[in-house]
């Protein structure tokens, strides 16, 4: 979805540059140069865009719901780890970038969804995603959000990243997290409380061509992901008037569960041991969050999360 929209915006920019209104394209390039660092400095959100009626229909299509399990005090800053990535990351977008659900459940907290920096190099598209509350996933950007001394800011990071989208098969419970510890270090450096978030149903929206680890297809996808910065899962779902084949996601409920915060004390120079300890605690809390709620969303008792 992001890729399609970005391609459309880039195509429009090329037409603008090559057409009779080339001067508008030049003016935009000057604006882009001036505004280049904004995605790393809190972005530029517009509540009117976040409240577009189309997002209401987007959330109701699946439907997407946000479930609160604990209070989040606006006196602190938070780093929310979102799992799993899925293909569309629908739960993250629907809950943290659109509507009033998050604000109603967690008053005083402003969420910032961090996405791959490459998207902010796309003309016009960058303005669109920033207006919805998305910012860069760079260290600089996360630091900017979590540096708010008054509290009340929440960085939402899809921990598994683009690589995890290649595991987004229906029924998959595999999370790419064992080697991902940068978010732990950021939480320690800024004293941001860690909050695990699990989105049930995220992997059920599309079917993906079989790509087990070690297969030729998976090797190609992983190589392309390292080069381009985003993954290219080969997925399909339903069409507009039929359920056999298409690119429209299946209507599967998405329940995004926000767990309890893990208190983190500010530590500007955490040791590897301290990072490892907090990472292990985060894994335990994430696993407990999943185990406590899986029965409510059709996950068999014997199924467990797989960390890799």
pLDDT of residue 119: 87
Confidence band for 8, pLDDT divided at 50, 70 and 90 = low
Does the pLDDT of residue 5 top 70, yes or no?
no
Over residues 290-304, the pLDDT tens digits come to 999 999 999 999 999
Section 23-29 average pLDDT? 81
Section 94-112 average pLDDT? 95
Q: Is the sign of the CA dihedral 239, 245, 248, 251 positive or negative?
A: positive
| Residue 150 Cα distances to 108, 111, 135, angstroms | 11, 15, 20
Over residues 75-86, the pLDDT tens digits come to 999 999 999 999
Domain at 40-307: CATH architecture: 3-Layer(aba) Sandwich (3.40)
Section 264-291 average pLDDT? 98
Q: Where are the domains of the chain?
A: 40-307
Does the pLDDT of residue 88 top 80, yes or no?
yes
pLDDT of residue 245: 87
Do 277 and 148 touch, CB atoms closer than 8 A?
no
Q: Is the peptide bond before 18 cis (omega within 30 degrees of 0)?
A: no
User: Chain-wide mean pLDDT for the chain?
Assistant: 92
Confidence band for 230, pLDDT divided at 50, 70 and 90 = confident
The interaxial angle of helices 22-34 and 2-18, nearest 10 deg, is: 130
Over residues 124-139, the pLDDT tens digits come to 889 999 999 999 999 9
Does the pLDDT of residue 276 top 70, yes or no?
yes
pLDDT of residue 244: 84
Supply φ then ψ for residue 291, to 5 degrees: -65, -35
Does the pLDDT of residue 51 top 80, yes or no?
yes
Nearest to 173 by CA among 147, 152, 201: 201
pLDDT of residue 122: 86
Instruction: Starting at the earlier edge strand, list the strands of the sheet with 64-68.
Output: 64-68, 254-258, 193-200, 78-83, 153-158, 110-115, 134-136
Confidence band for 241, pLDDT divided at 50, 70 and 90 = confident
Distance CA 183, CA 162 (A): 15
* Percentage with pLDDT > 70 across the chain: 96
Distance CA 125, CA 216 (A): 33
């Amino acid at each position: 979805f992001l890729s399609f929209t970005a391609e459309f915006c880039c195509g429009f920019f090329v037409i603008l540059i090559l057409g009779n209104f080339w001067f508008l394209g030049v003016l935009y390039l000057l604006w882009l140069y001036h505004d280049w660092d904004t995605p790393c400095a809190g972005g530029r959100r517009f509540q009117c865009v976040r409240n577009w009626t189309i997002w209401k229909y987007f959330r109701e299509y699946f439907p997407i719901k946000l479930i609160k399990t604990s209070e989040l005090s606006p006196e602190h800053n938070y780093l929310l780890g979102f799992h799993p990535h899925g293909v569309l990351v629908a739960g993250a977008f629907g809950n943290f970038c659109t509507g009033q659900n998050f604000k109603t459940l967690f008053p005083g907290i402003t969420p910032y969804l961090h996405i791959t920096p490459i998207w902010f190099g796309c003309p016009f598209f960058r303005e669109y995603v920033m207006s919805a509350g998305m910012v860069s996933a760079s260290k600089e950007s996360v630091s900017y959000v979590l540096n708010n001394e008054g509290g009340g800011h929440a960085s939402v990071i899809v921990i598994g990243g683009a690589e995890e989208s290649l595991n987004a098969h229906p029924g998959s419970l595999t999370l790419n997290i064992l080697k991902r510890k940068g978010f732990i270090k950021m939480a320690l450096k800024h004293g941001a409380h860690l909050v695990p978030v699990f989105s049930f149903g995220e992997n059920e929206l599309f079917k993906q061509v079989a790509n087990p680890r070690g297969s030729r297809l998976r090797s190609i996808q992983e190589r392309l992901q390292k080069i381009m910065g985003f993954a290219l899962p080969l997925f399909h779902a339903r069409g507009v008037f039929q359920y056999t084949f298409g690119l429209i996601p299946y209507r599967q409920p998405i329940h995004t569960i926000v767990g309890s915060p893990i208190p983190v004390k500010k530590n500007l120079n955490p040791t590897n041991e301290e990072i490892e300890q907090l990472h292990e605690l985060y894994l335990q809390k994430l696993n407990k969050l999943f185990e406590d709620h899986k029965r409510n969303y059709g996950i068999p008792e014997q199924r467990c999360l797989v960390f890799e």
